[in-house]
Amino acid sequence: MMAFSDDEAIQAEGSATSTYALAQLRSYIEAQGAQQGSRLPTERQLAEEMGVGRRAVRRALEMLENEGRITRRQGAGTFIGSAPAQPVTRDALIGATDFFEIMEVRLRLEPQLAALAALRGKPGQIARMFELSDRIAQCRDADEGELWDGALHRQIAEAAGNALFLSLFDIVNQVRQDAAWQAVRERARGGLAGHALPVAQHRAIVEAIAARDPQGAAEQMRVHLFSIQEKLIRLGSADADAAPFAIPEPGQPANA
C-alpha cells in the first residue's frame, strides 16, 4: 500500500503552502509599490493573514531574502528592499583612497566647477575670488597659504551654483585636508621655485571666470591642478623610501 509517510505529507503540504505564501508575499510587496525600507508584518501576523503555517512563511521569506527583495535585520524586523548601503564616512574614505586618487577626482571636478563659476558667478563672488588670490600671494608660510588656497577653491565651487556639485567638492576637500595628506601636500610645495607659479595660476583662473570664459576657466584650473599632480608624481618616484611625512622646509609658501 502506497502512502506518504507523515513527514513526506508535511513536506509536500509545506512546499505547496510555501509556494502559496511566496506568491502572496510577492503581491503584497508589489502592492506596497516601491516602498523600500518599509517594514513587513511579523512572521506570525503574515501566517495568520495568509492562513498558512509559520514555516511556509519563513521559507517564502528566505526565498525573497535570497532574491534581495527583502532584508531581515536581527531584532528589528523584516524590511522591503535590499540592505541599505552603509553611509560612507570620512574616515572610511580617507582609509580607502590616496592622494593620487584625490587628484584624479579634483582634475575632473574642479575644472567643471570653474567653468560653471564663469557662467553663473555673481559679481560679489568674483570680487571675493580676486581678494582671495591676493591673500594667497601675500602668504608667508605653508599653513597660511593652505587656508587661503582652500578658501579660493571653495569660493569657485560655491560660485558654480550647483548644490550637489558643491557637496561633492566638500567631500573631496574634507578628505584632502586630512592631516596625513597635508604633510604630503606641504612636501609637494616645498620644492616649488618660489610661489610665483601657483599665484599666477590662481590669477589666471579668476581672470577667466571674471571674463565669463568657461572654457578658459576650466583650462586654467586644469593647468593648476596638473602642476600639483606632476609635482606629487615626481616626489612619489624620487623618494619612495624617504620618511613618508617629512617636515617641510619652513617659510615655503603654500599655494596648491
Q: Which stretch binds Zn ion (CB under 5 A): 2-10, 148-156, 169-177, 178-186?
A: 148-156
Is residue 110 near Zn ion by the rule CB under 5 A? Answer: no
Nearer to Zn ion, 59 or 185 (CB): 185
Nearer to Zn ion, 149 or 158 (CB): 149
Nearer to Zn ion, 13 or 141 (CB): 141
Strand partners, 70: 80
Give the other-Cβ count within 10 Å of 224's Cβ: 24
Nearer to Zn ion, 71 or 255 (CB): 255
Nearer to Zn ion, 17 or 220 (CB): 220
Residues 152-171 that bind Zn ion (CB under 5 A): none
Among 110, 146, 149, 186, binds Zn ion (CB under 5 A): 149
Q: Which stretch binds Zn ion (CB under 5 A): 38-46, 142-150, 160-168, 206-214?
A: 142-150
Residue with cell 618616484: 237
CB of 160 to Zn ion, least distance (A): 16
Residues that bind Zn ion (CB under 5 A): 149
